[in-house]
A and B are shown apart, each in its own frame.
Chain A
Amino acid sequence: MGNALTAIASDDQALFYNPAALAEVKNWSLRPIALTLVGSSDLLKTGQSLSSLKNATVNDLNSFLNKNLYAQAQVTSSFVMPGFGIALINHDDARLHLQNPSFPQGYLGYQAIQGVQVGFGTKMLSFDQRKGVLNFGMAAKVLRQKGSIISITLTDVMTTDPSALLNQVNSDGSTGYGLDLGFQGIYRLTKRLKLLASLSYTDIGNTSFRTTAFEGGFTGGMALQYRSRDAVTTLAYDYSNILDNLDWRKKNHFGLRLQLDWVSFLVGINQIYFTYGLAVKFGLVQLMYASYAEAWGPLVHQNPQRNQVLQASLKIAW
């Protein structure tokens, strides 16, 4: 979906993207487990793993140059009911990026995050003979973060063994507290077609830990959703990080989703990069694969990195 989700987030997704959408939840649902695995294309192509760094010598660092090695594993459990949601989060990721053979520098990191996020959403008002509604929501989170992402300077490369750098990554845990706010407007243009708009501000004032922080993000979104007898088609657009001094092209997210009974097709543009995915349902089990890319450089065409995502979850709704 190109990460365009603030206007159309639903169920437990609403908890993370826009808590106002919790007001639109109709059913109770429990997702006891959702496992998500993410790997960068470089990692998957080369088969290199960050653990091989443990015995690396200085010379071995050459083989890591100009590669984006990233891996993530996450397990969440969530419960959602009309107007309310709660999720338990267990997230781990590790990364290594060294660039420039003439002047090697980069970063190395590992972090583990555990915590809980709770949100509620409520209808604020309805208008135009109930064709339109405005929802408001709020979510709070308490997260425990361990590990850190460290910059590797040239001096580090020259004066510190790789295994010692790994030790620097291990930092004591710290707790961060965060708050998200969101608004969602929905207007039914016809019986089958609705227009959605949203504003969400996540991690207001930054969710800060001892060695890192989740920076606050203010996002506006728009979407059109058409529900036919057999399918739901959604077209969505988000403009993220509105308040940040970034290349405006990096703020654009555009997605198209076709939801059929047991399968969903997703395509989108994240920044300027094509994204695609497929999700299927087998009874209570949902499987999803997606591929997306984003720029890590200051401008949208600089240092693009592509990642592959696999997700499996179990969902019980009633």
Chain B
Amino acid sequence: MQGEFFWLKKSFSSISGIVKKKSLFFLVIVWGCAGPSYDQGVANSLEIQSVIEQVNEALAVGDCVTAYRAIFPLYNSTNSNNAIREAILATYGCYARVNPISLIAEMISDSSQLGNAGLFGFLVKQFPSQSYPDDKIPQSAEDGIDVAMAMIQPGTVLIPQYTLNAGSNNPQSLLYTDRTSDANAYLLFLSMALLGSLAYRNGSPNASFQKTVPLPWSNASAMAGDGCAYAGALLHLADSLSFLVHNDASSVGSVYQSIQSFLQGGLDLACQAGCTLCGVSCTRCPVTLRDRMSCQGSSQDVNSCAAAGIVTFVNAAW
């Protein structure tokens, strides 16, 4: 048997190398987790690569549970790194029913209505959600956003006042400029999932995806919990768009631009109005509002007031 299998071997070796280096992908929520524990030691690179590949394979067929069971023990250990975070991020995306390619296509298709109040109807249309039984889309999106905030670019100096969970295995930065490109890009989808699902549950949209009741978090005292997460998600959406607008060279770039223009004009004014209503001072939306646990639910709390302003803005626009 004569043959140049040599060349086959070469080309596949080289691609295998790429797969090794760029293997990817993947979810929290405290469902039962029966994966291995890494508390006692450090996983080697082959173990980590194989778990990430396991996540990829599970997510390829939409099996969020298997992916989560595989990756969560690594994420919740000293082994955690950006590749692992990316894997669990994609897993939360799976639970939140995020399909980036389809969503981008929908954005292009509905582009005319995204640069205005139509944005909110679009989000509800894309992420219908129910709480009985709980489809867990909002929780998955929130947990995913937490992970994205922990995907810090290597070599970044973190500012303590904008850092959450410092000293943990997964410290988070509230500044999007500290994070990796893929984390910022993915925040677009997770924040859309959170905004759409919470609005669907709380705004009782009609067949045209317009709210029939206002979102319930329009004053500072009602702001702890979902309201804070909702307002924070809108800021994350704006952050992600800021990143994308600066890096985009595609046909969808004008869509990002139009949504960003709409939000950029409205959000800071909304926060300012919310603060003014409480009698506290803020000239723009607080950076710390990106932490969904940051609202204390009182009219003396700047984050709660700003968040109430954002929700009031959405209620007026949607």
Residues of A within 8 A of B (CB): 1, 3, 5, 10-13, 16-17, 31, 34, 36, 38, 57-59, 61-62, 65-66, 72, 74, 76, 89, 91, 93, 95, 99-107, 109, 111, 149, 151, 153-155, 157-161, 164, 203, 212-215, 217, 245-247, 257, 259, 264, 266, 277, 279, 286, 288, 290, 294, 296-299, 302-303, 307, 309, 311, 313, 315
Is A58's CB under 8 angstroms from B10's CB?
A: no
Stretch in B57-65, B222-230, B267-275, B302-310 touching the partner: B57-65
Among B8, B18, B93, point to the contact of A72 (Cβ < 8 A): B8
A58 touches B90 (CB 8 A): no
Determine if B4 and A16 form an interchain contact, defined as CB atoms under 8 angstroms apart: yes
Among the listed B5, B7, B15, B89, which residue makes an inter-chain contact with A103, where contact means beta carbons less than 8 Å apart? B89
Chain B positions within 8 Å of A107 at CB level? 15, 18-19, 22
Partner of A303, one of B11, B19, B101: B19
**17 A-B contacts, Cβ less than 8 Å apart?**
A3-B9, A13-B6, A17-B6, A58-B108, A91-B7, A101-B99, A160-B249, A161-B249, A161-B251, A215-B13, A215-B14, A279-B1, A296-B15, A296-B19, A298-B46, A309-B8, A315-B2
Q: How far is the CA of A153 from the CA of B54 in the complex (A)?
A: 19
| Contact status of A294 and B26, CB under 8 A, knowing A101-B60, A102-B91, A164-B249 | no
- In the complex the two chains form, is A103's CB within 8 Å of B20's CB? no
A-B contact number at CB 8 A: 220
Chain A residues near B182 (CB, 8 Å)?
A: 153-155
Q: B244 in the interface, Cβ–Cβ < 8 Å?
A: yes
Query: How far, in Å, is A106 (CB) from chain B's closest CB?
Result: 8
Name the residue of chain B whose CB is nearest to the CB of A178. Answer: B10
CB-based contact A105/B25 at 8 Å: yes
Shortest 9 CB-CB contacts between residues of A and residues of B:
A16-B6, A103-B90, A59-B105, A298-B49, A297-B53, A102-B94, A102-B93, A159-B248, A155-B181
Which residues of B come within 8 Å of A, CB atoms?
A: 1-26, 45-46, 49-50, 53-54, 56-57, 59-60, 62, 86, 89-91, 93-94, 98-102, 104-105, 108, 181-182, 184-186, 188, 244, 247-253
Q: Which residues of A contact B19 (CB under 8 A)?
A: 107, 296-297, 303
Q: Are B250 and A164 in contact (CB under 8 A)?
A: yes
Set B7, B100, B244: member contacting A104, Cβ < 8 A:
B100
CB of B68 to closest CB in A, whole Å: 12
For A13, list chain B residues within 8 Å (CB). 2-6
A5 CB to nearest chain B CB (Å) = 7
Chain B hits for A74, CB < 8 A: 4, 7
Chain B residues in 8 Å Cβ range of A246: 46
Asked whether A105 lies within 8 Å of B24 as measured between CB atoms, the reply is yes
CB < 8 Å: which of A59, A212, A215, A313 contacts B2?
Answer: A313
